[in-house]
Chain A
Amino acid sequence: MAIKDLPKDEYLLKGNAACPGCPASQALRVVLKALGQNTTMVVPACCTAVIQGIYPKSAFNVPLMNIAFEAAAACASGIKAGYKAQGNDDTNVLVWAGDGGSYDIGFQALSGAAERGTDMIFICYNNQMYSNTGVQRSGATPYGASTTTTWTGKLEHNKDLSEIMIAHHIPYVASACVSYPEDLYAKVQKAKSIRGFKFIEILAPCPPGWRFPMESMVEQGRLAVESGMWALYEVENDKMTFTGPSKGILEGLRQRKPVVEYMKAQGRFSHLFKPGNEGKMKIIEQHLDVVWDRYRKQSSCLK
């Protein structure tokens, strides 16, 4: 899949209210290109609820429903049931939630819908914090990252929602990143072709939240993958395959870039470079080794 093969259609219209350099709007463009016009979106409280624009205008060229933080997957289940009652079984129902709406607040509805196996795609665009409300810590915030509620750096490691979703034994779980649009497009297309509950997580480097210059948004995503801070993979019917640079890292064909290279451009990690914080840097590096060891074990089990 090359960039040239991606369709020209745009379902996220120009002149929306996203910040300049917003990874969510770039990911939305690619995701909606893959899903096409026959899609209904459910958006809980998150940045995308702002990106939509102000009544009576909407920046989305597909039907979209706003719902409370904790109810996104439940609402989508209802929409799917409604379509089924109308005899329409081919409209894609897409939940587009942030990490707050899937890792933390929206988790029970997400887990419930996955357990019921409702036919929908749940996409979590993960910017590793509550950026819409002013950069508070979330369950996805990595160790050491500074947010407005963890001034001196978070002291806990992030949880891994994709692995929790793998444990739901749903037909398709994938992890993607905005910097690899072809990979993301292919994963959404695959999810579209599968019946049942599909979960995709997209890393979204947020310039104001992570505090880096907006033009390096795509570069930051790429560095996250190349340094091993983020992995690209998909799990289809309990078969795990890594894609892109993560495949090389897993197989040992490619060295992980030093994690310092990923962190140095981001203001949220700047305190780790001050004297006295060398220990924290070490904890992050050791954690990465543990994570990749786990990936290796997992991928050899899920063959």
Chain B
Amino acid sequence: MISKVEKRDRSMDKRTTISRPTEGAAGKTGSWRDQKPVLDQKKCKKCLRCWIFCPEGAIVRKEGDAVEIDYEYCKGCGVCMKECPFKAIIMVREGEVYENQEECAKEEP
């Protein structure tokens, strides 16, 4: 009985309306963005407020609590910029020139 449950019969999948968990269920939502957040790693104190408040989950928490912005899905709402207590995140228009660009550019797409 249990083995049957584990080996799920997928032959019906195409005939039923069951959706499967997928990243990007609404497409690459990064294209919705008007302004993009840029993180200055030097100012970042790893408090993780941007990570928990990002509505999209587009701020990735890495080993050692460092954070990285996933530009593929970031919708550019700016909550991270507003909530960062150390002002380590700024919002810039695509293609705009800003301070510390060279250092931050490593992480940009």
Query: By the criterion of a CB under 8 Å from any partner CB, how many residues of chain B are at the interface?
Result: 40
Within 8 A of B (CB), among A208-222: 213-219
User: How long is the Cα–Cα vector from A8 to B51 in the complex, in angstroms?
Assistant: 10
A4 touching B79 in the complex, CB below 8 Å, given contacts A14-B70, A58-B20, A59-B21:
no
Chain A's closest residue to B78 (CB) is A215
Q: How far is B51's CA from A83's CA once the two chains are assembled, in angstroms?
A: 34
A57 B24 Cβ-Cβ under 8 A: yes
A19-27, A111-119, A162-170 - the one binding chain B: A19-27
Scan residues 47-80 of chain A and give those whose CB is less than 8 A from a CB of chain B. 52-61
What residues on B are CB-neighbors of A20 within 8 Å? 32-33, 55-56, 75-77
Contacts of A15 in B (CB 8 A): 23-29, 56, 72-73
Please tell me if the beta carbons of B77 and A214 are within 8 angstroms of each other in the complex: yes
| Chain A residue at minimum C-beta to C-beta distance from B53 | A218
Most buried by A among B27, B61, B75: B75
- Residue pair A16, B79 in contact (C-beta under 8 Å): no
Residues of A within 8 A of B52 (CB): 3, 6, 29-30, 181
Identify A13's interface contact among B17, B22, B55, B91, CB under 8 A. B22
Known: A8-B61, A16-B56, A52-B19. Is A21-B25 also a contact (CB below 8 A)?
Answer: no
**Interface set, chain B 38-55, CB cutoff 8 A to A:** 47-49, 51-55
- CB within 8 Å of B: which residues of A? 3-4, 6, 8, 10, 12-23, 25-26, 29-30, 52-61, 181, 207, 213-219
